[in-house]
């Protein structure tokens, strides 16, 4: 069944190419199409297209289909083009002519737009909650390990003392920036496009304010052409937010892979969270974080892929936009799996408490010694040259107990301020 069926059949090759994997992808949108169809049916009753009785039986049957979707019993067979045609078929099969009325005053473009935006709105909220859970864990780990020193690196060369508290909380605060972008994407998504029909509105006296309120959208996309142009733009906005989270997680994953390396030995995980080698019995590989790194790197390319698909399209609908759907749905699935596994694994992270006792980290403390000389009255440039000469002559003795190390920037984690910042971002 096709919503655009006019009594002739298209070639099977055309069907296969144009439908693609929409049936599988549309299972993610099914409950949202039900939600939008319920709102649409109530609106049709309000303007007199449906009677109250017709609206009631349509609503009952839509809710029954919604139950089957929730139970995982809903399928989209090959004879149906998409989720929208399958739902309309079920309504018509059960209710006859009443079922045929559900498509009055809307287009499939309408249905795809609103279902995708309802889907994105829900998923962005879920992702935001998962980001907050990871944030809370990182803050907890920061507080727990705040006094354990960690070598800082610049140019991958030993630089200055850091701490596990500073490291964990740096990623926590970085996630707040990602929340800002989620909020922006959510605001763009939270505009009702239903009623734009094929992109040029409807001659029926539809009530778009009613459906906006019924689906709890913040506002509507008032201009119907703008609503249609939102397809692709809405997804790109959401993918930018997701790619930003991916950037944060990818960098964290890289740190973890590096820090688990035996030559660093900064952190470790229980055996059950690592994998092994088929021939090297000593191996404990950070496969989870390598995959997080790979997935998150891929996620950062999704906004560009969507841009390339949509950039040279004029206004109005074009089938090119169908290619955005698989990118967006897989993007969401990947970031959620990465957030879940990062949280699951980091709950069990074990840190090395004696890293900086190794003589190879003596030079971590050169800046603290330099600062001590300056505080005692020596001009900075003279102190800097003296330290350089002492290091070159192997006459530098590190002072691992310098007060600055414990009470300066390393110890001053500002965790309460960071938590307040996240609280504001979530409001």
Which of the residues are catalytic? Answer: 155, 277
Q: Give Cα separations from 232 to 217, 313, 335 (angstroms).
A: 19, 10, 19
DSSP state of 49: S
122 and 29 Cβ atoms separated by less than 8 Å: no
> How distant, in Å, are the alpha carbons of 158, 252, 329, 350 from that of 166?
17, 13, 35, 16
What are the distances in angstroms from CA 345 to CA 50, 89, 100? 54, 45, 51
Residue that is written with structure tokens 């099977």 in the block: 12
Closest CA to 178 of 142, 222, 147, 138: 138
Query: How far, in Å, are 10, 110, 237, 329 from residue 189 at the CA level?
Result: 35, 14, 8, 15
DSSP 3-state of 179? helix
Buried b / exposed e along 219-243 (16+ C-beta atoms within 10 A) = ebbeebeebbbbbbebbbbbbbbbb
Q: Which two tokens stand for residue 96?
A: 């006859």
Long-range CB pairs of 96-104 (<8 Å, 24+ gap) are: 98/54, 98/57, 98/58, 99/58, 99/61, 101/44, 101/49, 101/50, 101/54, 101/58, 102/37, 102/40, 102/41, 102/44, 102/58, 103/3, 104/44, 104/49, 104/204
Name the residue among 106, 108, 97 with its Cα closest to residue 54. 97
Q: Which residue is it, tokens 């040279």?
A: 312
341/291 Cα distance (integer angstroms): 10
For residue 285, the cross-strand partners are 275
For residue 162, the 8-state DSSP code is E
């Amino acid at each position: 069944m096709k919503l655009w069926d006019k009594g002739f059949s298209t070639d099977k090759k055309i069907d296969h190419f144009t439908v693609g994997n929409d049936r599988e992808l549309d299972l993610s949108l099914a409950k949202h199409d039900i939600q939008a169809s319920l709102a649409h049916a109530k609106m049709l009753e309000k303007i007199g297209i449906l009677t109250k009785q017709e609206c009631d039986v349509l609503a009952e049957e839509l809710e029954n289909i919604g139950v089957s979707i929730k139970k995982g019993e809903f399928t989209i067979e090959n004879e149906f083009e998409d989720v929208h045609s399958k739902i309309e078929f079920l309504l018509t099969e059960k209710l006859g002519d009443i079922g045929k009325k559900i498509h009055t005053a809307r287009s499939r473009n309408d249905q795809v737009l609103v279902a995708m935006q309802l889907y994105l709105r829900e998923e962005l909220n879920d992702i935001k909650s998962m980001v907050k859970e990871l944030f809370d864990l990182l803050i907890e780990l920061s507080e727990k390990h705040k006094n354990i020193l960690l070598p800082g690196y610049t140019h991958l060369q030993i630089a200055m003392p850091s701490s596990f508290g500073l490291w964990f909380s740096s990623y926590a605060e970085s996630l707040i920036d990602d929340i800002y972008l989620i909020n922006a994407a959510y605001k763009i998504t939270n505009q009702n496009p239903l009623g734009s029909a094929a992109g040029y509105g409807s001659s029926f006296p539809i009530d778009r304010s009613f459906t906006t309120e019924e689906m709890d959208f913040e506002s509507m996309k008032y201009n119907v052409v703008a609503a249609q142009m939102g397809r692709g733009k809405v997804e790109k906005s959401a993918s930018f937010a997701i790619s930003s989270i991916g950037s944060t997680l990818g960098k964290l994953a890289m740190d973890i892979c590096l820090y688990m390396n035996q030559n660093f030995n900064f952190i470790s995980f229980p055996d059950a969270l690592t994998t092994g080698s088929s021939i090297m019995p000593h191996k404990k590989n950070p496969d989870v974080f390598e995959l997080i790194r790979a997935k998150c790197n891929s996620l950062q390319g999704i906004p560009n892929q969507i841009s390339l698909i949509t950039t040279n399209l004029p206004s109005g609908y074009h089938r090119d936009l169908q290619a955005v759907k698989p990118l967006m749905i897989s993007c969401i699935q990947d970031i959620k799996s990465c957030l879940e596994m990062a949280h699951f694994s980091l709950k069990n992270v074990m840190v090395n408490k004696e890293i900086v006792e190794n003589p190879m980290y003596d030079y971590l403390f050169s800046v603290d010694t330099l600062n001590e000389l300056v505080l005692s009255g020596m001009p900075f440039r003279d102190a800097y040259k003296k330290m350089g000469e002492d290091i070159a002559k192997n006459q530098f003795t590190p002072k691992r107990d310098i007060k600055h190390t414990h009470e300066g920037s390393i110890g001053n984690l500002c965790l309460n301020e960071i938590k307040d910042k996240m609280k504001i971002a979530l409001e």
